[in-house]
Structure 1
């Protein structure tokens, strides 16, 4: 039973690959015009117009190469990140000619600009011998069969003369069955070879695209610095908001109760001799207030760092969340040991937020939480059978989760078609220690 899907996948891969390669080759048609436009604007730099025109043309160039990156990533499996250097901080404050000059300098200094230009110039040729070659072989094979069935006779009747590889097609073509059979055999060979070579040549093309369209070390470092700056800023903002929440909860909750308890104890002290019955009543109320203050402090501590997380680890902490959830939650944990405390805490609160969102918005009947470790990544998926339609847009809770795990270079992916199911997947880099999980 497992062999049949494998054969189907193998066959589908070889059927799709040649036509995808031709599709990538067809992208070179608009790419030629874009490359010519960029070359023209660069040639005008010496007379000053290029300084104004290059920043205007570059968005079109990058849109063109982004289309390549998207298709190559989807069709070849070679993921290509956008390599462009971020804007300089000065660009946010400058205007007019100063801004145009600053943008021009940044674009010219960006290695990705020249790599994009090199790609647009070279790809129409390179793609013919890589991605498009299998599709062209298949089309050439179809032409061979076409010559055998009827086109060869038409060419001969019209007095034409051409060659199909080493077989001559002329007025004597139809009177030589060996030529016709040879043409059909060669056509079949070309078609079979095209389908068999398709995935391999598409993979070669994907590597070529990743080499030229991917980020250089300079741009990778710059993008990394920008990401760390943004995630640090978000982490600082989140920490400040959390501190304000703790301060507000203490001020409005436990602190207010403790102040009231102090006042009650003072009243009790004066009533002990004058009205012992009323003093005992106030003492009972004070004891009840102390119990409530203690409960509020415990809830506050649990919100900062749950004791079960500190004592038992992320697996049991998530199981505790499942027990308190209003929906049936099935938890699967496959962790050889405990992650580092900061990562463990981030993953815990991310799962907590996702389960809260599920209870509020999904309309689900059941929820599944899978927690595992693959390579150097902690992988978490939360699946529900609800109505679907969840989105990362509009400042939703999922966006907050994404920012939380982004501090640790984590990523979040969402699949939530209308009608469900909704699957939220997180991956957070983490090398687990060798000790077993507690």
Structure 2
């Protein structure tokens, strides 16, 4: 407690695990917060039980698991017949070769593993043999612990050269532990760990498992660093897995189970399809309502131009273009101002042509367009402003709701502002070059009847 910006503190404790969750105010610098928490952990470490080492979770979010994969044997591979041994070997291979290599992928915060068995050396004392040999249990524990730790022996200088002395007591096989001496031969018959205990390769206790296609398996999860692009990081992780797979033992393969880039790609395709179909429908409706193909195409230009301004604004503000933000764009609202502007242009030009009984000169067309723009500029701008004000209350949302809906409201507001700008500037300029009323002296189109 007492950390700047800390909003909520909660903890969960159960057998073998204690989890502490700190929630900071929105906008807090995550790196500074982690530094402060690390300092507090260092202060509290002295009060923890022996062997309890606090570890801070990686910088990620609840949706940070972007790639799931499994490691297993191919159908024709020579795999251990015993399932427990097979899962233990796969877990060891993953933890020693796959995980370290995958963690080096840019954009990944960590790699988790689910399922399998963690390899352990099991020492099961025989109480009768301990009593017969006269070796206490404490001595057995002390000998195993002392002889499985690396130790330095200093430096020996010979002939002007310095040699580092190091005791490498890493355990590789069960026989390494079984051969540890408990009592030297000079004090009676020599006694080793193997004489008073059964030493074997076993499995550590586990709290869960993973299955693939109904079969127990070893599954890995690549966790993305908070703030990274999930599509790009997913692609890099999958490519890295493919490279790692080429260096695994024969018959062992890595299979991608879930790739976030597939979901992102499907979302992008959905947005693109919706935008294209929406724009096409708007163009067809405009052609039917205006009854003038030049006017319809002129109004339709407001869609890509307004959308380009929207994307420019989002790029400058570093806003995310996603399904929530882009999916809320209504092309009907975007072309609303341009429809009003172009329809009034067309009406004024046709009325002037009918009044004069001849085509208009360039000066006359420019004057009519200027007058027509002045007539509807105010009402059109007011209409767009009213629609924009509808979305303003959304910006007052906070927390999860604010993060979900603020990008949508911001995208709509920027799109409406861009459409108003296009209607007031681009439409009059293009109409002076493109729009003609000759040959349309009779009123046509549903919107002008």
Shared fold, TM over 0.5: no
Larger proportion of strand:
2
Structure with more relative contact order (C-alpha pairs < 8 Å, separation 6 or more)? 2
**What TM-score does the superposition give when structure 2 sets the normalisation length?**
0.24
TM-score (norm. length: structure 1): 0.25
Q: Whose helix proportion is higher, 1 or 2?
A: 1
Specify the structure having the higher radius of gyration (Cα).
2
